[in-house]
């Protein structure tokens, strides 16, 4: 058994903006089932609360730049995992997790430094782990502080650090004054460590200082070592390739299984697919698509509207799509340009396009179930969860063959296109639409996807092996 402390900026079901929260909501419990001891540390944002929370520690000493911050630690225990919430209202009791009104909080570097320092204080004052497992730029400072401030602390001697990259596109870049604000030695501000094009790059510091690196799919682990996907850090990642492993994310079938999904108007399984028709009808009625939409494939999208997700390709083929025998329903939010694009498409052709601009877990489940085809034309995709959910929901995905999309989808279960180009996307979608009209062949494809198993236990086993290897066991 290894003793792991995971530190992350979002953890489902407490708070979620994307796939990181899903991973953090499932991996710890899967590790516990496999015999590990796991504590999860996250911020206590506004609204993070539950009846089983209790106060574990008042006024934990967390120091930054000679100032002692007021930090309390709340806790709850679920499925053998201990969740610790860093309660520092000044930093976390706000109306947005990372942003407010579309703009990043100006002190995000300090907010997440406090999270890292609180985790290290918990380790020193309450219970020390053998491995700190941190995630993305928000917690990449932990290995940096551990090495530079606490290297000699007897309570942390021998503790190892692992950093998982969920998305290299977000690196936590701040102006040069951040070094001082984070209490870091100016000696670290050079291109060999945390400096990056004149900025402080928190992820870069973590990539250098962590004992081991992982990404969320094997393909992405290879891709980030190339200029196309490396965001300027490919050289550093190539240097660290001997301690970089790609482990595919799992999914939690307790939440994402059409046979038991409590959000659906009807449940279904590979043995009896009739409920899926009811889900499609419900969706079509809800969105006011015409009844004829039942007789053509319904394409679903659930996504953050970020540049990474391929919406520029969709924009370029939308006109051509309108002429195809299909309807498209999209759930998402983010970049205002794409939000407006989908609103315009709906007002232009309400018989073909429907949208829900916003975030709704319930609607995400309904779209996975009620659609016939799922669309993910990402420019890059570290793992991607929705295409894995869509397999389980009998909704074959059309994906661009990149990262985890390439690792999880094949020609038997979905449709892949390679070139990041609107023509390639349109060809892929047209092919899928055409295949949908072959009803028997389509049901075979659905069943092959539904039979795939991407549950967490296998992925947890791979993390477990890495932990043991890091600890020399």
* Closer residue to ligand ADP in complex, CB, 129/404: 404
E-strand spans in 216-267?
244-246
Residues 281-320 that bind ligand ADP (CB under 6 A): 302-304
Binding segment for ligand ADP (CB under 6 A), chosen from 85-93, 105-113, 155-163, 326-334, is: 326-334
Alpha helices in 323-421 (DSSP H): 336-348, 361-370, 386-392, 403-408
Q: In angstroms, give the least distance from the CB of 39 to ligand ADP.
A: 23
Q: Is 43 in the site for ligand ADP (CB under 6 A)?
A: no
Strand order across the beta sheet in which 195-196 lies: 173-174, 199-201, 195-196
Q: Closest separation between CB of residue 135 and ligand ADP, Å?
A: 12
Asked if residue 27 binds ligand ADP (CB under 6 A), the reply is no
Of 13, 7, 6, which is closest to residue 47 (Cα–Cα)? 13
Q: What share of the chain is helix, strand, coil (3-state, %, to 5)?
A: 40, 20, 40
128: its two tokens: 């020390």
Does residue 335 bind ligand ADP (CB under 6 A)? no
- 359 part of the interface to ligand ADP, by CB under 6 A: yes
Tell me how far, at minimum, the Cβ of 308 lies from ligand ADP, in Å. 7
| Comparison of 243 and 333: residue with beta carbon closer to ligand ADP | 333
Both tokens of residue 55? 């106060």
Q: Near ligand ADP by CB under 6 A, which window of 35-43, 50-58, 98-106, 381-389?
A: 381-389
CB 215 within 8 A of CB 203: no
Q: Site size for ligand ADP, by CB under 6 A?
A: 17
Our finding on whether 238 is near ligand ADP (CB under 6 A) is no
Contact status: 215 vs ligand ADP (CB under 6 A): no
Of 435 and 452, CB closest to ligand ADP: 452
Dihedral pair phi/psi, residue 294, rounded to 5°: -65, -25
CA distance 430 to 95: 42
Number of other CB atoms surrounding residue 39 within 10 Å? 22
By CB under 6 A, residue 361 contacts ligand ADP? yes
Locate 415 and state its tokens.
Answer: 């449709």
Helix (DSSP H) and strand (DSSP E) numbers for the chain: 17, 22
Name which position in 128, 385, 398, 446 contacts ligand ADP (CB under 6 A).
385
113 near ligand ADP, judged by CB under 6 A: no
The token pair that represents 119 in the structure block? 């985790």
Q: Which of 86, 179, 244, 364 binds ligand ADP (CB under 6 A)?
A: 364
Which residues are at the interface with ligand ADP (CB under 6 A)?
18-19, 22, 302-304, 331-333, 359-361, 364, 383-386
């Amino acid at each position: 058994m290894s003793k792991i402390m995971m530190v992350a900026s979002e953890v489902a079901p407490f708070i979620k903006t994307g796939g990181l929260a899903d991973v953090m909501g499932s991996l710890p419990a899967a590790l516990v089932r496999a015999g590990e001891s796991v504590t999860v540390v996250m911020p206590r944002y506004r609204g993070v609360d539950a009846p089983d929370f209790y106060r574990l520690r008042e006024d934990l000493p967390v120091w930054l730049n000679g100032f002692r911050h007021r930090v309390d630690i709340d806790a709850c225990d679920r499925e053998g995992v201990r969740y610790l919430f860093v309660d520092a209202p000044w930093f976390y009791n706000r109306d947005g997790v990372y942003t407010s009104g579309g703009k990043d909080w100006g002190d995000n570097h300090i907010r997440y430094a406090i999270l890292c320092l609180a985790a290290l204080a918990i380790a020193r004052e309450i219970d020390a782990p053998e491995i700190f497992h941190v995630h993305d730029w928000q917690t990449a400072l932990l290995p940096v502080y551990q090495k530079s401030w606490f290297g000699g602390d007897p309570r942390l001697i021998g503790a190892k650090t692992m950093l998982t990259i969920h998305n290299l596109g977000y690196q936590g870049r701040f102006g040069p004054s951040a070094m001082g604000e984070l209490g870091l030695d100016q000696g670290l501000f050079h291109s060999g460590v945390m400096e990056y094009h004149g900025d402080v790059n928190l992820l870069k510091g973590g990539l250098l200082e962590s004992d081991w690196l992982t990404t969320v799919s094997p393909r992405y682990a290879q891709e980030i070592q190339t200029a196309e996907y490396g965001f300027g850090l490919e050289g550093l990642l190539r240097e660290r390739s001997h301690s970089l492993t790609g482990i595919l994310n799992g999914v939690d079938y307790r939440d994402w299984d059409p046979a038991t999904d409590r959000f659906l108007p009807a449940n279904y399984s590979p043995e009896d697919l009739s409920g899926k028709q009811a889900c499609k009808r419900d969706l079509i009625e809800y969105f006011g698509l015409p009844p004829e939409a039942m007789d053509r494939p319904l394409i679903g999208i659930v996504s953050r509207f970020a540049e990474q997700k391929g919406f520029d390709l969709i924009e370029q083929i939308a006109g051509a799509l309108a002429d195809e025998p299909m309807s498209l329903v999209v759930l998402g939010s983010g970049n205002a340009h794409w939000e407006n694009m989908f609103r315009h498409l709906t007002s232009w052709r309400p018989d073909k396009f429907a949208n829900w601009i916003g975030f709704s877990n319930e609607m995400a489940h309904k779209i996975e179930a009620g659609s016939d085809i799922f669309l993910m034309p990402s420019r890059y995709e570290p793992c991607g969860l929705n295409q894995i959910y869509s397999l389980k929901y009998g909704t074959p995905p059309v994906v661009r063959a990149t990262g985890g999309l390439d690792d999880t989808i094949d020609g038997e279960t979905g449709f892949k296109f390679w070139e990041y180009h609107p023509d390639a996307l349109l060809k892929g979608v047209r092919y899928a639409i055409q295949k949908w009209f072959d009803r028997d062949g389509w049901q075979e494809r659905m069943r092959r996807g539904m039979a795939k198993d991407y549950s967490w236990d296998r992925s947890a086993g791979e993390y477990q092996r890495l932990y043991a290897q890091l600890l020399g066991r």
